[in-house]
Amino acid sequence: MKVGVLALQGDVREHVSALIACGIDPIQVRRVNELAEVDALVLPGGESTTIVQLAQIFGLFEPIKNRIASGMPVYGSCAGMILLADTILDAKEGQKTFGGLDITVRRNAFGRQVDSFESDITFADGSTDLIKAVFIRAPWVEKIGANVQVLASVDSHPVAVRSQKLLATSFHPELTGDHRIHRYFIEEVAKPALEKVK
Ligand code: GLN
Structural domain count of the chain? 1
**pLDDT for res 198:** 64
**Of these residues, 15, 172, 179, 182, which one is catalytic?**
172
- What was the pLDDT predicted at 115? 77
Which one from 174, 179, 182, 187 is the annotated catalytic residue?
Answer: 174
| CB of 46 sitting under 6 A from ligand 1 | yes
Q: Report the distance separating Cα 67 and Cα 74, nearest Å.
A: 10
Q: What is the DSSP letter of 13?
A: H
Strand-pair partners of 28: 5
Ligand 1 contacts CB of residue 45 (under 6 A): yes
Percentage of the residues of the chain whose pLDDT score is greater than 90? 94
pLDDT score at 25: 98
Question: Which atom of ligand 1 approaches the CA of 135 most closely?
Answer: 9
User: Could you tell me if residue 64 is left (phi over 0), alpha (psi between -120 and 50 degrees) or otherwise beta?
Assistant: alpha
Query: What is the domain range of residue 69?
Result: 3-197
pLDDT at 110: 86
- Continuous segment of H or E residues that includes residue 141: strand 140-144
DSSP 44-77: PSS-HHHHHHHHHHTT-HHHHHHHHHTT--EEEE
With beta carbons less than 8 A apart as the criterion, state whether 134 and 141 touch. Answer: no
Quote the pTM value.
0.96
CATH code for position 174: 3.40.50.880
How far is the C-alpha of 174 from the C-alpha of 171, rounded, in Å? 9
Determine the distance separating the centroid of ligand 1 and the alpha carbon of 137, expressed in angstroms: 6
Measured CA to CA, the distance from residue 71 to residue 198 in angstroms comes to: 13
**Ligand 1 atom at minimum distance from 50 CA:** 10
Q: Is 182 labeled as catalytic in the residue annotation? A: no
* Ligand 1: centre distance to CA 194 (Å): 29
22 has catalytic annotation: no
Is 174 annotated in the active site?
yes
Half-sphere exposure of 2 (CA within 13 A, CB side): 10
- CB burial of residue 157 (10 Å; 0-12, 13-18, 19+): middle
Specify the pLDDT at position 113.
58
Pocket test for ligand 1, best of 8, 47, 113 (most atoms within 8 A of CB): 47
The Å distance, Cα 47 to ligand 1 centre, comes to 5
Question: Which residue ranges of the chain lie beneath pLDDT 70?
Answer: 112-114, 197-198
